[in-house]
Amino acid sequence: MNTEFDLVDLGTKKGNAIYEFLSRAGASLSGSLPPLPIRDLVKSKCVGYERKQGEVYRKEVESRGYKFRIANLATEDAIAALPTAKVYLAWHFLEHVPNKDWSDKLVKASLTNASWVAWFRLPSFQQDFQTGEGVLREHGMRFTWTNWRGHPSHWLVEDCTKSILEWSKGKPDREFDLVVKPAGYIKSMNDHRVVPIDTPIDVNEYKPHHGKRPLDVKFKRPIIAEWEVIVRFKDANK
């Protein structure tokens, strides 16, 4: 696949995901497949997308050598206009669109337009009682981010993998490896991201006035705070 860009970053803000991928994250993509030539990617062929309110990030993104584009990615026209690229990143982005229908469309568009990798990093909205928020809720606690107005789409790992598998039907020429793994943990109730369930909306971190936390609770396993869902196309090196 001939591509317009080397890398597209959805919801780029200051371009930190582009920087992390180019400098470090690419090394974790090899697995059983040949390493990708990450060093061959060119800054000037990397582009970050932001909504209109994100115009404040343009100067910083462009100062790092990346391109910057404004688009409302919760519209059919904007999704249809997304460019092809070797790499697509959507790190902590899919939860910000209006609902799961738009998250689904953006996952599938990323897969369609990527030739090497489509990488989705998700804050955990899992409600299970093993390593999800359910463990916290049993003790009257929750994650900070599960009650933010900026997170209308509580996009789950299973939502993401379902979208990927739906997209792949009828595409035998696009073989890929799918990796799903934790990307970060909460190891105790003392974590600043753990707050009482009735804490007001849009709180970013715990403060004493939010109420007491059961600090004597010991987790059997660390709570997973975020997930990686990575699609690595097998023909990337051809």
Domain range for 42 is 5-124+152-184+226-233
Q: How many domains does the chain have?
A: 1
168 located within any domain = yes
Domain presence at residue 90 = yes
What is the DSSP-derived secondary structure letter of residue 65? Answer: T
Residue 211 lies in a domain: no
d(CA 120, CA 44): 22
pTM (predicted TM-score): 0.95
Do the domain assignments include residue 209?
A: no
pLDDT, residue 34, reads: 76
pLDDT at position 36, please? 85
Residues in the chain: 238
Q: Is the alpha carbon torsion for 89, 44, 236, 25 positive or negative?
A: negative
Helices (DSSP H) in the chain: which residue ranges? Answer: 16-23, 58-63, 76-80, 100-113, 133-137, 157-168
The CATH number for 60's domain is 3.40.50.150
Within a domain: 220: no
User: Looking at the domain assignment, is residue 219 inside a domain?
Assistant: no
Tell me, what's the pLDDT at 37? 87
Chunked mean pLDDT (size 10), the chain, 238 residues: 94 97 71 79 97 97 98 98 98 98 98 97 98 98 98 98 96 93 97 98 98 96 97 79
Q: Which residues contact 178 (CB under 8 A, 6 or more apart)?
A: 161, 164, 229, 230, 231, 232
Instruction: Evaluate whether residue 196 is within a structural domain.
Output: no
> Does 216 map to a domain?
no
